[in-house]
């Protein structure tokens, strides 16, 4: 049978038709009394009557009326309503006729008529009872008008009728009492079953539920609540619970005041919504809970108690913490990344301005890292960077903020430090690295460090950005003086050093003059062997006309807040290229890289949408590539950004997929269409079994989620063959085609069409 079948509502069960108190049975009894009355009335005409007694036509009328009433009651519910109404009308007519047939009076009939009227009103529906009462009242009036002595048979009829009706009432009251007792028993049983059901439901919940009554006494707490509080199954009295756990604010360290406890707040009438707290049982693990609750009121608004539900969000908070750590820290060294370091720097300078304090910034650069990369390889260079980070980290204070700005650069923020203190720290760091034993690939390296120092003196107005630039200039001054040393910023340095600030000016000038050069690298559709899309890459032309690679200026643009302007420039150029070269049967599909800062630019999606609509291009021809690091800077903002452009019709690709901790998490929460496999898995793919396993797994996951895959850094035919055999959709790299000026690439495209790649 169905779980929720067609059951009668609670308290509305149909009465048993065979019971004494049922309407059908009671109507039959009343009808029987009518028939008995008719029988007695007819008998008065057959038996001898006392002297002076008259037997008139009224007895016949009574008999007929009684018989009709009895039949109607016995057959109640079995005859059409029209038949019942007709019969009642005939009965009324007969009674009225009886009035005309006799003028004698007999008040002794009154008791019998009254009893029958009462029974009719008790046991019959309101309309039928009223009609029967009218008949009885008219008959009684006729009897009163008869004015004749009462015979023995009539007296017997009255006695029998009175006793019968009295017995009927007693039986009815007894039946109602028994029914009430039975109903009470059934109600108690139903309440017991309902309570058992609710207890079972509450015990099965993974969320904790706790409630108190109007006096604040705990009355309900399920299994999850006991688990959260470290309470054993013996169910200690709620009054003793406080000895077994402690409550803290979300930081997990500050004890939660009583007035902030969710159940207390709900009991006071406050609506508790999404309140975080940490509970630490004496016997159990610490958990983070999310509480919601309110006061319980009756229909009159009187407080009956309060209830709070608690959801365990410990795992969610742990995962969010790991994601936040990834967003704030450099993946290679584990140090604070540039974005997070700059945030700390801004906070420190604001505090220094407010309280008249000093602070210092040190920018550190590993000398000659390029030589290590060129001679020993980039893997050796990465190993050197992580080792240097460890050595330097061992020589800064716990109160100092140590981060990696990118590449071979690090920075240290030193609170409450004057020039002397900052110089001492810089000297210690230079000496520490100089004396460290560092081995890479079996070779001992002797790296050195160039350090620039900038100090925010008391009551100075320099911003964190300016401090960082000054330290950067001082670092270049140290390099100019021979490296392996430190230098404190002085104003005259700006006149003879070519620091990063010059790059800032050059980037700004390139944006104004539109002297950036767009390159394109073809992306191969593996199934067809033809180039299907192009990734746009950026170069900057120097004053001498040489092309500057992006690694030389993009980190500076990131650091000094120019990257968003560059992203907008490239997006604008891409839309123009699609408009000018993507018409007809051969649409031009372009991939555009976006930085982390662009993903949190609330205005950029609107700008892109306006440009796309103005150019009348297919939004699906634009694919935006973002790295995992960019996605986790602010995943909520990134999701809003991506959702807006996906709704417009653009596509998204997750670059360097598989390189980080949260790759699969982003597939669940961000609307990516394409997964771009990290190049580290592709470079040595034919000869590295571990890379092969990872690539196969990522392709399987992508297929299951309906995503496409791109493999970059494809350098030879063997790699492309492996990718083809294992279902990778697209390939990109030296074997497919090197980056070229976009104009040349599009000219070749117009002349030759999609060109198959050699196999």
Three-class SS string for 260-301? HCHHHHHHCCCCEEEEEEEEEECCCCCEEEEEEEEEEECCCC
pLDDT recorded at residue 127: 58
Do residues 337 and 329 touch, judged by C-beta distance below 8 A? Answer: yes
* Choice between 609 and 234, residue whose per-residue pLDDT is larger: 609
Confidence grade of residue 7 (pLDDT, cut at 50, 70, 90): very low
CA dihedral 153, 156, 158, 163 (to 10 degrees): -160
The DSSP symbol for 739 reads: -
**Enclosing H/E stretch for 619:** none
Q: What is the pLDDT of residues 37-65, one digit of tens each?
A: 555 555 555 555 555 544 444 455 555 55
Tell me the average pLDDT across 61-83. Answer: 55
CA dihedral 325, 329, 332, 333 (to 10 degrees): -110
Coil, strand or helix: which one is 352? Answer: helix
pLDDT tops 80 at residue 666: no
For 742, left (φ over 0), alpha (ψ -120 to 50), or beta? alpha
Coil, strand or helix: which one is 10? Answer: coil
Tell me the average pLDDT across 503-515. Answer: 83
* Choice between 111 and 191, residue whose per-residue pLDDT is larger: 191
Between CA 644 and CA 145 the distance in angstroms is: 96
Report pTM. 0.50
pLDDT recorded at residue 658: 67
Query: How many CB atoms sit inside 10 A of residue 450's CB?
Result: 25
**Enclosing H/E stretch for 153:** helix 152-204
Q: Which residues neighbour 40 within 8 Å (Cβ) at sequence distance 6 or greater? A: 153, 154, 156, 157, 160, 161
**Helices 464-480 + 500-513 axis angle, to 10:** 120
Burial of 12 (0-12, 13-18, 19+ CB in 10 A): exposed
Strand partners, 296: 305
Coil, strand or helix: which one is 626? Answer: strand
Do residues 513 and 572 touch, judged by C-beta distance below 8 A? Answer: no
Structure tokens at 395: 């020589």
Structure tokens at 671: 């609307």
Do residues 339 and 326 touch, judged by C-beta distance below 8 A? Answer: no
**Helices 81-101 + 126-146 axis angle, to 10:** 10
Do residues 443 and 375 touch, judged by C-beta distance below 8 A? Answer: no
Between CA 548 and CA 569 the distance in angstroms is: 17
Strands (E) in 468-621, as ranges, are 485-488, 516-525, 530-541, 547-548, 590-593
Q: What is the residue-averaged pLDDT of the chain?
A: 76
* Choice between 307 and 748, residue whose per-residue pLDDT is larger: 307
pLDDT recorded at residue 446: 85
pLDDT tops 50 at residue 421: yes
Report the share of the chain in percent with pLDDT over 90. Answer: 26
- φ/ψ (deg, to 5) at 461: -115, 10
* Choice between 371 and 539, residue whose per-residue pLDDT is larger: 539
Between CA 733 and CA 685 the distance in angstroms is: 13
Please state which of the ranges 213-217, 581-585, 693-697 shows the lowest mean pLDDT: 581-585
pLDDT tops 70 at residue 26: no
pLDDT recorded at residue 294: 92
Pair type for strands 485-488 and 651-657: unpaired
**Enclosing H/E stretch for 440:** strand 438-440
Q: Which residues neighbour 695 within 8 Å (Cβ) at sequence distance 6 or greater? A: 677, 681, 682, 685, 711, 722, 723, 726, 728
Between CA 705 and CA 698 the distance in angstroms is: 11
pLDDT recorded at residue 99: 42
Between CA 494 and CA 510 the distance in angstroms is: 21
* Choice between 514 and 538, residue whose per-residue pLDDT is larger: 538
Coil, strand or helix: which one is 17? Answer: coil
Q: Could you tell me which of 107, 114, 127, 128 has the C-alpha nearest to residue 27?
A: 128
Confidence grade of residue 620 (pLDDT, cut at 50, 70, 90): very high
pLDDT recorded at residue 55: 47
The secondary structure of 75-102 as a DSSP string is TTTTS-HHHHHHHHHHHHHHHHHHHHH-
Confidence grade of residue 74 (pLDDT, cut at 50, 70, 90): low
* Choice between 116 and 399, residue whose per-residue pLDDT is larger: 399
For 43, 153, 162, the CA distances from 40, given in Å and listed in that order, are 5, 7, 13
CA–chain centroid gap for 233, Å, is 32
Pair type for strands 730-731 and 708-711: parallel
Please state which of the ranges 310-314, 323-327, 535-539 shows the lowest mean pLDDT: 323-327
What are the b/e assignments for 415-426, b being 16+ CB within 10 Å? Answer: bebeeeebbebb
Q: What is the pLDDT of residues 727-744, one digit of tens each?
A: 999 999 999 999 999 988
pLDDT recorded at residue 13: 40
Gyration radius from the chain CA atoms: 48
Confidence grade of residue 158 (pLDDT, cut at 50, 70, 90): very low
pLDDT recorded at residue 150: 45
pLDDT tops 60 at residue 383: yes
Coil, strand or helix: which one is 145? Answer: helix
Strands (E) in 594-725, as ranges, are 622-627, 651-657, 674-677, 708-711
pLDDT recorded at residue 501: 58
Half-sphere exposure of 469 (CA within 13 A, CB side): 19
Pair type for strands 674-677 and 708-711: parallel
* Choice between 489 and 160, residue whose per-residue pLDDT is larger: 489
Confidence grade of residue 520 (pLDDT, cut at 50, 70, 90): very high
Between CA 690 and CA 681 the distance in angstroms is: 9
pLDDT tops 90 at residue 507: no
Tell me the average pLDDT across 181-199. Answer: 77
CA dihedral 15, 18, 20, 23 (to 10 degrees): 50
Pair type for strands 674-677 and 651-657: parallel
Confidence grade of residue 292 (pLDDT, cut at 50, 70, 90): very high
Q: What is the pLDDT of residues 458-504, one digit of tens each?
A: 667 788 888 888 898 888 888 878 889 999 988 655 554 445 557 77
pLDDT recorded at residue 60: 53
Between CA 480 and CA 201 the distance in angstroms is: 75
CA–chain centroid gap for 632, Å, is 19
For 71, 444, 659, 666, the CA distances from 323, given in Å and listed in that order, are 86, 36, 14, 11
């Amino acid at each position: 049978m169905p779980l929720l079948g067609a059951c009668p509502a609670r308290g509305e069960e149909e009465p048993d038709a065979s019971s004494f108190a049922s309407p059908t049975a009671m109507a039959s009894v009343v009808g029987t009394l009518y028939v008995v009355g008719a029988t007695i009335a007819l008998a008065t005409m057959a038996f001898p009557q006392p002297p002076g007694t008259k037997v008139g036509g009224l007895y016949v009328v009574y008999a007929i009326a009684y018989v009709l009433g009895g039949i109607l009651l016995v057959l109640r519910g079995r005859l059409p309503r029209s038949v019942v109404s007709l019969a009642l009308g005939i009965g009324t007519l007969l009674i009225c006729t009886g009035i005309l047939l006799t003028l004698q009076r007999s008040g002794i009939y009154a008791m019998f008529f009254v009893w029958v009227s009462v029974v009719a009103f008790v046991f019959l529906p309101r309309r039928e009872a009223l009609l029967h009462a009218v008949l009885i009242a008219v008959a009684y009036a006729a009897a009163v008008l008869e004015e004749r002595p009462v015979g023995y048979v009539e007296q017997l009829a009255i006695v029998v009728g009175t006793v019968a009706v009295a017995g009927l009432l007693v039986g009815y009251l007894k039946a109602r009492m028994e029914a009430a007792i039975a109903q009470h028993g059934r109600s108690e049983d139903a309440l017991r079953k309902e309570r058992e059901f609710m207890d079972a439901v509450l015990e099965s919940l993974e969320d904790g539920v706790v409630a108190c009554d109007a006096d604040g006494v705990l009355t309900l707490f399920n299994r999850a609540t006991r688990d959260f509080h470290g309470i054993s199954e013996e169910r200690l009295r709620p009054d003793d619970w406080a000895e077994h756990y402690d409550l803290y604010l979300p930081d997990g360290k500050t004890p939660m005041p009583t007035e902030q406890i969710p159940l207390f707040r709900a009991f006071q009438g406050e609506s508790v919504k999404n309140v975080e707290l940490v509970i630490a049982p004496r016997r159990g693990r610490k958990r983070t809970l999310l509480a919601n609750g309110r006061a319980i009121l009756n229909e009159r608004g009187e407080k009956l108690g309060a209830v709070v539900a608690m959801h365990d969000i410990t795992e969610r908070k742990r995962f969010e913490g790991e994601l936040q750590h990834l967003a704030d820290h450099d993946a290679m060294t584990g140090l604070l990344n540039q974005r997070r370091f700059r945030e700390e720097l801004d906070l420190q300078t604001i505090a220094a301005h407010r309280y008249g304090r000093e602070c210092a910034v040190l920018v550190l650069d590993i000398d000659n890292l390029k030589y290590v990369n060129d001679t020993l390889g980039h893997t050796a260079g990465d190993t050197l960077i992580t080792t240097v980070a460890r050595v330097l980290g061992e020589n800064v204070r716990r109160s100092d903020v140590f981060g990696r700005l990118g590449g071979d650069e690090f920075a240290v923020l030193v609170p409450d430090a004057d020039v002397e203190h900052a110089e001492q720290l810089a000297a210690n760091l230079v000496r520490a690295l100089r004396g460290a034993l560092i081995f890479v690939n079996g070779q001992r390296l002797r790296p050195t460090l160039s350090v620039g120092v900038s100090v925010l003196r008391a009551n100075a107005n320099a911003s964190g950005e300016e401090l960082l630039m000054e330290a950067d200039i001082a670092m270049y001054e140290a390099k100019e003086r021979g490296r392996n040393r430190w230098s404190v910023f002085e104003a005259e340095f700006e006149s003879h050093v070519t620091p990063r600030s010059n790059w800032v000016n050059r980037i700004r000038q390139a944006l104004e003059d539109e002297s950036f050069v767009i390159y394109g690298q073809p992306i191969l559709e593996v199934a067809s062997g033809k180039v299907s899309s192009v990734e746009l890459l950026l170069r900057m032309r120097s004053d001498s006309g040489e092309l500057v690679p992006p690694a030389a200026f993009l980190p500076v643009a990131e650091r000094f807040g120019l990257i968003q302007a560059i992203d907008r420039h490239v997006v604008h150029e891409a839309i123009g290229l699609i408009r000018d070269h993507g018409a007809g049967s051969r649409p031009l599909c372009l991939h555009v890289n976006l930085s982390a800062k662009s993903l949190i630019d609330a205005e950029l999606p609107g700008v892109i949408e306006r440009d796309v609509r103005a150019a009348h291009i297919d939004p699906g021809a634009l694919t935006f590539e973002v790295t995992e690091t960019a996605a986790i800077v602010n995943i909520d903002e990134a999701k809003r950004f991506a959702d807006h452009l996906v709704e417009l019709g653009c596509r998204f690709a997750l670059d360097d997929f598989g390189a980080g901790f949260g790759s699969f998490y982003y597939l669940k929460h961000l609307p990516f269409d394409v997964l771009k496999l990290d190049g580290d898995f592709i470079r040595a793919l034919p000869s590295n079994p571990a890379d092969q396993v990872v690539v196969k797994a990522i392709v399987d996951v992508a297929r299951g989620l309906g995503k496409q895959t791109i493999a970059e850094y494809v350098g030879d035919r063997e790699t492309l063959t492996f990718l083809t055999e294992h279902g990778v959709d697209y390939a990109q790299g030296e074997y497919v085609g090197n980056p070229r000026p976009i104009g040349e690439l599009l000219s070749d495209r117009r002349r030759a069409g999609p060109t198959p790649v050699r196999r």
